[in-house]
Chains A and B, each alone.
Chain A
Amino acid sequence: MEDRRIGVFICYCGGNISDYVEVEKVRAAVENEPGVVLAKTQMFACSDAAQDEMISDIKEKGLDGIVVASCSPKLHLYTFRAMSLRAGLNPFRYTQSNIREQCSWAHRDGGPFATEKAIRIVRAGIARARLSEPLATMRIETTPKVLVLGAGVAGLMASLTLADIGLPVFLVEKEPEVGGWTCKWGGMFPQGNGSDLVEGLLKKVKQREDITLFTRAEIIERTGSVGDFTAKIRVADGSVVSLEVGAIIVATGFDTYRPAEGEFGYGREGVWTLPEVKEWLAGNEGPLAVDGRPVESVAYIYCVGSRQPKDSELERPNLYCSRYCCSSALHTALQIHERNPEVHQFHLYRDMRSYGKYELLYEEASRKGSMFFRFENDAPPEILAESRRHIVRAKGQLEGDEVLDIPADLVVLVTGMVPRQNDALINVLKLPVGTDGFFNEIHPKLRPVETVMDGVFIVGASQGPKTLAESVASSLAGVSKSAALLKKGYVDLDPYIAMVNAERCVWCGKCLEACPYGAIEKSVLEGKEIASVIPSLCKGGGACVPVCPEDAIELKGYTSEEITAAIDALIEQVAAPVP
């Protein structure tokens, strides 16, 4: 171990570190650690000049491991890995010690403690570096084909665009027809009609030889991993086809909220949800009538099934705003107004969230005579029956708490979006689900369509409430992510994966239960049943390591030996107390 040749580079971060940590003292305290042949400080370790210096040091001094003591690896792990590679050093023999986020920034109150802590952190890094071994990334050849689940507008657009890029697509739809909700909802803002839109897309899809559409079909099994999946699809005639794909795009959409019987009078004739009203409007052209009675007055109740209060009695209240419903209800009001300008329309809302261009709908509806009343969450409107009509009793918040009785022939419950109940799919794809029941992305801003399952992308309203335009934007994001993955032809996976010590393993199956990625399987080695790791599925999360009663599982790059050495170095006394 003593013959290791380790270089240590400690960064000032232009004051971010050196204002609180005495960097030169840290250098002096670690330069004689076993295995260290060089210890330097740098103003900005990530700068080109500093990296060039590291590269020549690695080459000239023949370093076989380095420690960079700087910021969080989240920022520069890949910077210094790439640098190591350029210097001819195995990138997994570089260790980053975080003395900024975990030290200088955390101890801005001054005092010698920050410097002492930095010394401990760097020593721990050196202790790990001493044990580091050259590791190799795993290269997987990718299959340049994509499976798209769900043939609503998001799925159709994803398929067409993938085909444009030159990636063949298998498009799988559960229903007999494509087009999802858009198909049923008639007119759209600012122009066009949902069923025409879908018809146009379907026509294009059918013209493409590189898109294979399966309707009344479902995914029943998925094996393999990023770049190299096998999906089993049960198709319309009951038979099962097996497809090889490199990526999977989930565009399974949303469901509409169904009010409980009696919720705001739901269940009575003429008390309909917004989607029901849209289908009704799209499906008839004559004068508007409910139950034979002409519609003279319409009342809308907003936020039904969305933005439910946290402390409500519901088991899992929908806390989120469904985004589309305010605008969609306004659009519906304008359609009704167009059909009959005499109709009175009353909107009982909590907040009017007709954001962006949808504000024009609000403007137009109010100019055309729609009346808007804001109600408070704890005083929702009530629906009372009156001979073949409804009375909506509401306390308008901006109207001096005046209680209004609004006669209405049609009450529209402006219902929001809810996640589709699709446990089978969640199971097959191992998709993570958020507290709201929609699929969960990795990062809401920077990785909005990626999931913890590499190569499986969630797009459209399957990820959360969206308008059609937002859904399509998200589906195209899924397309570019798939293309970025598959066009390269291969993926390199980190080598930090679990490994099983076959001698110790007694195949109790505890690791199998613990692994959230399904990366453990049973295998037989010389007649003995043992656990084995599927390298392409293992993400190095390490959930298996602590549950193994035989200590038979280790994580490459994070072995018990390395971690213990790092901890020992951390707790070791810092010799000369820093003045």
Chain B
Amino acid sequence: MARVNTDFIDEVRRSDGFDATACMHCGQCTAICPMGLDLLPRRLFFYVGAGLEDKVIENLETIFSCLLCRLCEENCPRDVHIAEDVRFLRNYINRKVHKLARI
């Protein structure tokens, strides 16, 4: 059971750095990703969109496994800026979890 946290959604929205609204959950990106991880990147976007902050933080390893190779982006039918979004999540975790200041 995961509770939707609208505050988290708002926080992400306000930051302007993350945008996966166009994602239609086709899964092309995950299929093509050389890392072959279940959550990367589609499910992460779902967690963010649904405001499941705990899930995002729980999976920080996955977030940092991304190679930023943009293979997924090249193949995304909805032109989601996937690598940018992954970057944002790393930044977010650095601040929230590792308490690093924003670079």
The interface of chain A, by Cβ under 8 A from chain B, is 296-297, 342, 344, 346, 366-369, 371, 373-374, 396, 398-400, 402-407
Is B6 in contact with A296, judged by CB distance below 8 angstroms? yes
B4: chain A residues within 8 A (beta carbon)? 346, 404-407
Top-4 shortest CB links A-B: A398-B25, A405-B3, A406-B4, A344-B6
Is B9 in contact with A367, judged by CB distance below 8 angstroms? no
Residue of A nearest to B25 (CB): A398
Q: A367-B21, A400-B38, A402-B2 are in contact. List 16 more A-B contacts (CB 8 A).
A: A344-B6, A366-B21, A367-B22, A369-B9, A369-B21, A374-B25, A396-B46, A402-B46, A403-B1, A403-B2, A404-B3, A404-B52, A405-B3, A405-B4, A406-B4, A407-B4
B:1-43 near A, CB below 8 Å: 1-4, 6, 9-10, 13, 21-22, 24-25, 38, 43
Is A399 in contact with B50, judged by CB distance below 8 angstroms? yes
B25: chain A residues within 8 A (beta carbon)? 374, 398-399
Residue of A nearest to B5 (CB): A407
Residue of B nearest to A370 (CB): B21
Q: Tell me, in angstroms, the Cα distance from A367 to B49 when the chains sit together.
A: 12
User: Interface size class for chain B?
Assistant: 10 to 19
Ordered by A's residue number, 10 sampled pairs between the chains whose C-beta atoms are within 8 Å are A344-B6, A398-B25, A399-B43, A399-B50, A402-B46, A404-B3, A405-B2, A405-B3, A406-B4, A407-B4
Is A404 in contact with B6, judged by CB distance below 8 angstroms? no
Q: Tell me, in angstroms, the Cα distance from A297 to B3 when the chains sit together.
A: 13
A296: chain B residues within 8 A (beta carbon)? 6
Q: Tell me, in angstroms, the Cα distance from A11 to B49 when the chains sit together.
A: 68
B:41-83 near A, CB below 8 Å: 43, 46, 49-50, 52
B22: chain A residues within 8 A (beta carbon)? 366-367
Is B50 in contact with A371, judged by CB distance below 8 angstroms? yes
Residue of A nearest to B9 (CB): A344
Q: Tell me, in angstroms, the Cα distance from A367 to B79 when the chains sit together.
A: 12
A368: chain B residues within 8 A (beta carbon)? 21
B46: chain A residues within 8 A (beta carbon)? 396, 398-399, 402
Counting chain A CB atoms within 10 Å of each CB, the highest count among B3, B4, B9 belongs to B4
Shortest B40–chain A CB gap in Å is 13
Shortest A277–chain B CB gap in Å is 20
B50: chain A residues within 8 A (beta carbon)? 371, 373, 396, 399, 404
Q: Give which listed residue, A346, A367, A369, A400, contacts B43 with CB less than 8 A.
A: A400
